[in-house]
Amino acid sequence: MLDDVRLHQALIGRADSRGEFNTPVLVVDRDALARNIRRMSELAKTHGVSLRPHAKTHKSVDIAKLQIAAGAVGLCCAKLGEAEVLADGGVESILITSPVVSRPALARLSALNERITDLAVVVDNVANVEALANVLTRPLNVLIDIDPGIKRTGVPSAAAAVELLEAIRRRKNLNYRGVQMYCGTQQHIVNYDERAAAIRDRVEYLRTVISELEAQGGAPQVITGCGTGTHYIDAALGAFNEWQVGSYVFMDRQYADCDLANQPSVPYEYSLFVDARVVSANTPGMATIDAGYKAFATDGGAPVVLSGAPKGTVYHFRGDEHGAIVDPDMKKVWTIGDMVRLAVPHCDPTVNLYDSYHVVSGGTLVEIWPVGARGRSR
C-alpha cells in the first residue's frame, strides 16, 4: 500500500490520470461498483431477504462500508483474520463461514466476540462446539454448517445436524441462530437450467434437514447461503433468508461466462480490472504485456482483453511477469507503452495478489483503497 501511495498519490484528482499508472495495477471502476452494489441490494429487498455479502471477494473495509450503506445487514468472512480486519474498520456484524478450531484461533475468536456487537461462526462438529464453549467469556452466536455434498465442511446428514443442535443447547454461552448451506460447486454451472436443477435438488435436501431440526424445536432463525451464481434461482425457491453473495461487486470472467439470470444480458458489470502495458511488440499481431502469473489468479483460466486491442484479441500466460496478447487477424501493430485493460478470470484470489485498489471514475484516479485483509489466511 505504501508503494502504491508513493507512486500514485499525486495522480489523484488529475484528469485522465488512469493512463499514467505504473503497471500492472488493480483498478476498480467506482461507478460500476456502486451500480452492482445497488442492483443486488434492490433485488434482495424485493425478495425480502437479508444481504450479508462475502468479504472474501474484496477484503476491503471501504467496500464493506459501501455494501452496508446500501442495506447489507453485515458481512461474511471466510477466515478469522478477515473478520478481525473488518472489525478494526468498524464493521459490527460478521459471520465467519468456516469453522474456527485451533487453540490460538479460538482465543482470537473470543477476543473478537468481546469487541463487536454481532459475531457468529459456523460449526459442524461436536468437539468444535465444546472447544468454543470452553474459551468464550461472552455468549457467541453459532450456525450449523450443512454439507451440500461437496464434502468440504458441514454436517453430513440431518441426524448429525440434530446431534449438533443438542450439543449447542447444552452450552449456555452458545446461541443457536440457524443454519448455513453454501452450494459452491453449483455456482459456475454455465447453463441456467442445469444450474437451477442442481440447486433445486440441494434445496430439497436442505429442507429435509431443517424439518428434522424443527421437529426438535430447532427452527432456524437464519438460513444463510446463496452465491452470485445462484441468487436468481434461490430468490425463486425462497429457501434462504440471507444471501452470502460475493463476486457480484466485481464480476469476473468465470461468472460472466454463466447465464446468471436467464436473461439476454449479464445483470452486473465488470468493475474490477488489471491495467497493463505493452513492453514488447516485435511481431505483427502479437505483443507482450507486463502482467503474467503474478498479476492474475490462474485457477479460472485466462483474463479477458477488454480494451487496447482489436475485438477478439486473446491473452496467453507467458511467465511470471508477462502475458501475450494476440490479434485474431494477426494485423495489429502495438506500440511500446500502449495500455491494455483486462477483466480478471477469478476475482477473489486475484485481489489477494495486490496491496491496494486504484479507484477510478471515468479515466481519473479518485482514491486508493487498501486491500486490508490481503493475506489473512488464518
Burial 310-348 (b: 16+ CB within 10 A, else e): eeebebebeeeebbbbbbeeeebebeeebbbbbbbbbbb
**pLDDT at residue 5, as a whole number:** 80
Residue (of 90, 82, 41, 24) closest to 62 by Cα position:
90
Give residue 367's identity as a one-letter amino acid code: E
Smallest CA-to-CA distance from 93 within 63, 121, 122, 56 is with: 121
Count of other CB atoms within 10 angstroms of residue 12: 15
What does the pLDDT read at residue 165?
98
Q: How far is CA 322 from CA 200, 230, 273, 317, 359, in A?
A: 43, 34, 16, 7, 24
- Identity of the amino acid at 236: A
The reported pLDDT for the residue numbered 7 is: 84
Indicate if the pLDDT at residue 155 is higher than 90: yes
pLDDT category of residue 4 using cuts at 50, 70 and 90 = confident
Write down the pLDDT at residue 95: 98
* Residue 3: alpha-carbon gap to chain centroid: 25
Q: Which pLDDT does position 2 carry in this prediction?
A: 59
**pLDDT tens digits, residue range 178-227?**
999 999 999 999 999 999 999 999 999 999 999 999 999 999 999 999 99
Set out the domains of the chain in order of their start, with CATH numbers. 2-28+267-370 (2.40.37.20), 32-256 (3.20.20.10)
Rg of the chain over Cα atoms, rounded to whole angstroms, equals: 22
DSSP state of 203: H
Three cell numbers, residue 39: 442492483
3 state SS of 145: strand
DSSP single-letter state for residue 23 = S
Bond before 24 cis per omega within 30 degrees: yes
Q: Which grid cell is 302?
A: 485466462
pLDDT, tens only, 33-71: 999 999 999 999 999 999 999 999 999 999 999 999 999
Per-residue pLDDT, 34: 98
What span, in angstroms and rounded, lies between the C-alpha atoms of 340 and 309?
7
Q: In Å, how far are 258, 276, 281, 350 from 292, measured between CA atoms? A: 25, 10, 16, 12
d(CA 47, CA 66): 21
What pTM was estimated for this model as a whole? Answer: 0.97
pLDDT of residue 78: 97
H or E stretch including 20? none
What mean pLDDT value characterizes the chain? 97
pLDDT, tens digit, for every residue of 126-154? 999 999 999 999 999 999 999 999 999 99
Task: Tell me what pLDDT residue 307 has.
Answer: 97
Distance CA 170, CA 193 (A): 43
Residue 15: is its pLDDT beyond 80? yes
List, for residues 83-135, the tens digit of each pLDDT value.
Answer: 999 999 999 999 999 999 999 999 999 999 999 999 999 999 999 999 999 99
pLDDT at 127: 98
pLDDT of residue 1: 56
Question: What is the percentage of the chain residues whose pLDDT exceeds 90?
Answer: 97
Quick one: pLDDT at residue 266? 86
55 contacts 312 by C-beta, under 8 angstroms: no
Judge whether 180 and 224 are in contact, CB under 8 Å: yes
φ, ψ of residue 223 to 5 degrees: the values are -120, 100
Span 349-374, pLDDT tens digits: 999 999 999 999 999 999 999 999 99
What's the sign of the alpha-carbon dihedral 56, 58, 62, 64?
negative
pLDDT score of 113: 98
Task: Render pLDDT for 244-288 as a digit per residue (tens, 0 to 9).
Answer: 999 999 999 999 999 999 988 889 999 999 999 999 999 999 999
Cβ pair 110, 134 in contact under 8 A: no
